[in-house]
A and B are shown apart, each in its own frame.
Chain A
Amino acid sequence: MTTALLENTTRTELWSGSVIDADVHANVPSMETLYKYQDRVWVQWAQERGWAGPSGLKVAYPPNAPTTSRDEWRLADAPPASDLGALQRHILDPWQVEKAVLNCYYAIDSLRHPDWAAALARAVNDWLVAEWLDRDPRLVGSLVVPARDPQAAADEIDRVGGHPGFRQVMLPVRSEQLYGQRAWWPLYEAVVRNDLVLGMHWGGTPDGAPSTSGFPSWYVEEYAAETQVYAAQVISMIAEGVLRKFPELRVSMLDCGFTWIPTWGWRMNKEWKGLRREIPWVDRPPMDLLREHFRFSIAPIDAGPPAQMAKIVEWLGTDDLLMFGTDYPHRHDDDIAEFLQVLPEGMRANVMSETARRWYRL
C-alpha cells in the first residue's frame, strides 16, 4: 500500500496533527511559459534555434518512467506537476497541508551558456513567484540558480532571496565539483546572507556521473545508485569545513532516503578519530555535524521490516532529522502509515511538520 494517495485511509486517520510537505515539485510546463519572464534576447535565441529547454531534465527524469510521476498524477496535455491546480488537487487539499516546500528542478545546470543559464534561472524564479508562491499561501519555495557559476548563483540569490516565499536554494546533487570545495563558497555566503536553506535534490550536470565511478549503463542503476552521490556530497561539505566556515548553514537533503545515514555516520566518525588532524577544522564527530546542519526528507523510505526499521530510526540518534515529503509527483511506494507506527511517539510530530517548521522558519 502507498499512502501518498491516501488509499484506504483518510488524512486524519493517518495523522491528526499538522502536515508540512517538505518536498513537492513544480515543473516548467514549456519553454514558452517562461518567455514572458525573460529578456527578449533569450526568447529570440530559443525561437531561432528551436530550443525547448535544458536537456538534463529528461535525463534525470525520463518522461515516461514510472518513477517520474504516479499515473494518477499525470496531466492530459502538460508535464506532471506543471500546474498549481493539480498540486492543490493532488496534495495540498487532500493532505490538508499547512505548508509545502515547492522545488523546481529545471536542469539549468545542463545549459553551458553562462549568460543564458543565469537568465533562465531568473525566469524560473520569477515564474515560481508569480504563478505559484504568490497564488497559494501554503507554498514556500526553492529558488533555482545557474549552478555552474557560483558567483552568478550568489547574484541570483541576492536578487530574489529576499522574497518571503523563498526559503531554500536548490542545487542538483550531482555536480562537476564536490560541494564542499571552496569554489562554491560565494554561493553559500549568499545562502547564509539571505537566511535561506541549501537544498539538494536529485538531478545534476550531465557530465557529473551519477555514480562515484563513472556512468552506469541502465537507468535502474542510476536511480538506485543516487544515494552514494548524496553521501559523497555530505562527506565533502563536512570534510572541507563548509560548516565551520558557515556555522549558520542549514542543508536539506531531499529525495535520498535516510536509512544509510547511521552506518555512514559510524564510518565517518571512526575515520575522523584517527584522521581528524588532516581536517583540523572538523572539531566534532561528523555525525554530530550532520545532526546539527542537515535535515532529510523521508522519501524514499526504503523500509524493511518494521522491527529493523525501528532500529535504523533509533540509530539516527536524534528525533529532529527527518521531514515528511511526498516528493510529488515522483513515485515512491512508501507506506507512511507503517512508518508512523515505527517512529517513537514523540518523533511523529517532528517528522510530519515540526522539524520542517523550525528548519524553514515556517
Chain B
Amino acid sequence: MTAPTERPRGGKHVVARTDEIPPGSRRIVELDGRQIGIFNIDGEYVAFLHRCPHMSGPLCEGQVIGLVESSGPGDVRLDESRKFLTCPLHGWEFDVHTGQSYFDPKRVKAKRFPVEVRSGADVAAESAPGAPGTPEAETGAAPESDGRVPGPYIAETFEVAVEQDYVVVSTGRARRK
C-alpha cells in the first residue's frame, strides 16, 4: 500500500528509503538551502553539513575511516568501532558521532544533524494533512502543496510505501508548540 505524502514538518526531511543508502554509502542532498551529506556507517545513519569547519571544503565527499591509534612508534592499530569523516581538502578528521575534530575536540567541530529511521506508516501518518506538527494543524491553513515535497524532491511526487523504512533528517529548524 502506498500513500501520497508531504514532507514531515518541523524541520524534518525524508531524504531516502533506507535501502537507497546501504552501508558504506552516502547521499548528498539539499535541505532548507543547505547541502547535507547522509552516511550509512555500518548500518547507522549520520548526517553532516557538506562544509568543513576548517576552510569550508566539501566535507561530505571525504573518506570515512577508522581511528588509527598508537601507544608509541611501531604500534599502529585500527579501531573500526570509532569512525571519522575526513575532509578531502586537508584530511582533518571528524568523529562521526560527535562531529568533533580529532586534534582539537573542544574547539573544532563539524556540523551534524540528527537522523532517524522511520517506518513508511509513521512517515505517512505524520505528514498527512492535519497531522500534529503540520501547518494546517497549527494554523488551520490549507496544505501548502498537494503531494509535492520541497527540498531535495522539489517538483517530484514522493510516494511513501508503508512497508519501507525511511531516512529522516532533522535540520533543526522545527517550529514546535
Name A's B-contacting residues (CB within 8 A). 182, 240-242, 244-245, 272-277, 280-281, 285
Residue-wise interface mask of B (71-110) relative to A, using a CB-CB cutoff of 8 A (1 in contact, 0 not): 1111110000000000100111100000000110000000
B163 within 8 A of A: no
Binary A-proximity of B53-87 (CB < 8 A = 1, otherwise 0): 00000000000010011111111100000000001
When the two chains form their complex, are residues B68 and A274 in contact, meaning their CB atoms are under 8 A apart? no
Do A275 and B91 touch (CB < 8 A)? yes
A241-B73, A273-B91, A280-B70 known; 14 new pairs, CB 8 Å cut-off, are A182-B73, A182-B74, A242-B73, A244-B73, A245-B72, A273-B92, A274-B91, A274-B92, A276-B102, A277-B93, A280-B68, A280-B76, A281-B70, A281-B75
Assess whether B73 is in contact with A273, with CB atoms less than 8 Å apart.
no
Residues of chain B within 8 A (CB-CB) of A285 are: 103
Count of B residues near A, CB < 8 Å?
17
26 contacts between A and B (CB under 8 A): A182-B73, A182-B74, A240-B73, A241-B70, A241-B72, A241-B73, A241-B74, A242-B73, A272-B103, A273-B90, A273-B91, A273-B103, A274-B87, A274-B90, A274-B91, A275-B91, A276-B102, A276-B103, A277-B65, A277-B93, A280-B68, A280-B69, A280-B70, A281-B70, A281-B71, A281-B73
Bound-complex Cα distance A272 to B71 (A):
17
Chain A residues with Cβ below 8 Å from B74 are 182, 241
Point out residues on B near A: beta carbons under 8 Å. 65, 68-76, 87, 90-93, 102-103
B93 to chain A, nearest CB (A): 7
CB distance from A183 to the nearest CB of B (A): 13
Give bound CA distance, A242 to B73, whole Å. 8
Which A residue's beta carbon lies closest to that of B86? A274
Chain A nearest CB, measured from B27 CB (Å): 25
Residue of A nearest to B76 (CB): A280
How many angstroms from the CA of A285 to the CA of B107 in the assembled complex?
15
Closest to A269 in B: B103
Q: Which residues of B contact A274 (CB under 8 A)?
A: 87, 90-92
Nearest A residue to B104, CB-CB = A273
Complexed CA–CA distance, A165 and B71 (Å): 35
Tell me how far the C-beta of A340 lies from the nearest C-beta in chain B, rounded to whole angstroms. 36
Q: Contact check: which of A242, A245, A277 meets B68 at CB < 8 Å?
A: A277
The binding surface of chain A is classed by DSSP as helix
- Rounded to whole angstroms, the CA-CA distance of A242 and B87 in the bound complex is 29
Q: Which 8 A-B pairs have the closest CB atoms?
A: A274-B91, A241-B73, A280-B70, A277-B68, A274-B90, A281-B70, A280-B68, A244-B72
Select A281's contact among B65, B72, B91, B103, beta carbons within 8 Å. B72
Minimum distance in angstroms from B90 CB to a CB of chain A: 4
**Complex: A281 Cα to B70 Cα, angstroms:** 5
Q: Chain A CB within 10 Å — which of B71, B74, B103 has the most? A: B103
Of the listed residues A241, A242, A273, the one surrounded by the most CB atoms of chain B closer than 10 A to its CB is A273
Chain A residues contacting B93 (CB-CB under 8 Å) are: 277
Q: How distant is the Cα of A240 from the Cα of B65 in the complex, in angstroms?
A: 23
Closest beta carbon of chain B to A322's beta carbon, Å: 27
A245–B72 Cα distance when bound, in Å, is: 6
Q: Nearest A residue to B101 by beta-carbon distance?
A: A273
Residues of A within 8 A of B70 (CB): 241, 280-281
**A276 cross-chain contacts in B, Cβ below 8 A:** 102-103
- Expressed in whole angstroms, the Cα–Cα distance for A272 and B104 within the complex equals 12
B73 vs chain A, min Cβ distance (A): 3
Question: For the complex, what is the distance from the CA of A277 to the CA of B77, rounded to whole Å?
Answer: 10
Contact A245 B103 (CB under 8 A): no
What CA separation (Å) do A273 and B70 show in the bound complex? Answer: 16
Q: How far does the alpha carbon of A240 sit from the alpha carbon of B91 in the complex, in Å?
A: 20
CA distance A274 to B59 in the complex (A): 13
A182 to B69, CA, bound (A): 20
| CB-defined contacts of B72 to chain A, threshold 8 Å | 241, 244-245, 281
- CB neighbours (8 Å) of A182 from chain B are 73-74
Q: How far is the CB of A89 from chain B (nearest CB, A)?
A: 47
A240 to B70, CA, bound (A): 12
Tell me, rounded to whole Å, the shortest Cβ–Cβ distance linking A265 to chain B.
Answer: 15
- Assembled-state Cα–Cα distance A242/B74 (Å): 11
Residues of B within 8 A of A281 (CB): 70-73, 75
Give bound CA distance, A276 to B68, whole Å: 9
By beta carbon, the residue of chain B nearest A275 is B91
Complexed CA–CA distance, A245 and B74 (Å): 10
Q: State the CA gap A345–B141 with chains docked (Å).
A: 72
Name which residue of chain A comes closest to B90, CB basis: A274
Given A274-B91, A274-B92, A275-B91, check contact A245 B102 (CB 8 Å): no
User: In whole angstroms, how far apart are the Cα atoms of A92 and B92 in the complex?
Assistant: 52
Residues of B within 8 A of A240 (CB): 73
Report how far A291 CA is from B92 CA in the complex, Å: 24
Knowing A273-B103, A280-B68 touch, does A245 contact B91 (C-beta < 8 A)?
no
A348 to chain B, nearest CB (A): 33
**Assembled-state Cα–Cα distance A164/B90 (Å):** 49
Q: How far is the CA of A274 from the CA of B88 in the complex (A)?
A: 10
